[in-house]
Amino acid sequence: MNNTIKIEDKLSIKKESHYLIISNKEKCKDLILNSPLDDNNIVDILISLHIVLEVSLNALYRNIASSYLKDTMDELKIMEDIDSVSFIDKTRMFICWSKFNFGNKRKEAREFYKIIHEMKLFSDVRNKLLHGHSISIVLNDGVRKSSETQGKLNPKFLNQQIKRFCFIMKGMRFYLDCLESEFTDDGKKSYKEAFLDDSFLPYLRT
């Protein structure tokens, strides 16, 4: 398995690890297809899906920023500075400050602007899981109550998260296509395949 992305131009060659994206895509796909969708497997899918999104978008923004600035600044320093900003804030800046040519697709642009809000919703459950929020069920006098996080560990919520993930990726592909830049169509295609692909997700069994 090739775990690196190789990006070349006239002056330099850059290799970037692709392992976290590839491995977590495979993990999501395998769990959805071959494992019972119980609490533990849903936790693993939610965390892995978030890793795919965050690592992919961070890598995309690093490549975009370094392509603009590499001739005047140290490329590794650019990447380190880009990594110090959250992926949601980078998305907000990319959409709000980049120059796009939407043509007759302004309606789609307005619709996909929602991906910033969807990212916040998508990230909420992962943050709670990794920050140790309670995953509990309490039985008290025959009354069953679940913690907020526990109440989300079901196939219905997982399906909502997968739909959010696919909407975010679709929106980012749209904005990248409309971005006014020196990127060729083939260059944009390679970025979409490497960082904005959601085809690894199988149909969710419910």
- The tens digit of pLDDT for each residue in 136-161 reads 444 555 545 555 667 678 899 999 99
d(CA 127, CA 36): 24
pLDDT at position 4 over 60: no
Q: Is residue 119 part of a domain?
A: yes
Q: Is residue 205 part of a domain?
A: no
Q: Is residue 201 part of a domain?
A: no
Q: Is residue 204 part of a domain?
A: no
What are the two backbone dihedrals, phi and then psi, of residue 137, each rounded to the nearest 5 degrees?
A: -125, 130
pLDDT band at 7 (very low <50, low <70, confident <90, very high): very low
Residue 146: the pLDDT is 55
Full-model pTM: 0.84
Instruction: Show the domain range for 30.
Output: 4-195
pLDDT band at 63 (very low <50, low <70, confident <90, very high): confident
d(CA 147, CA 141): 17
Question: Domain count of the chain?
Answer: 1
More confident residue, 41 or 3: 41
pLDDT at position 129 over 80: no
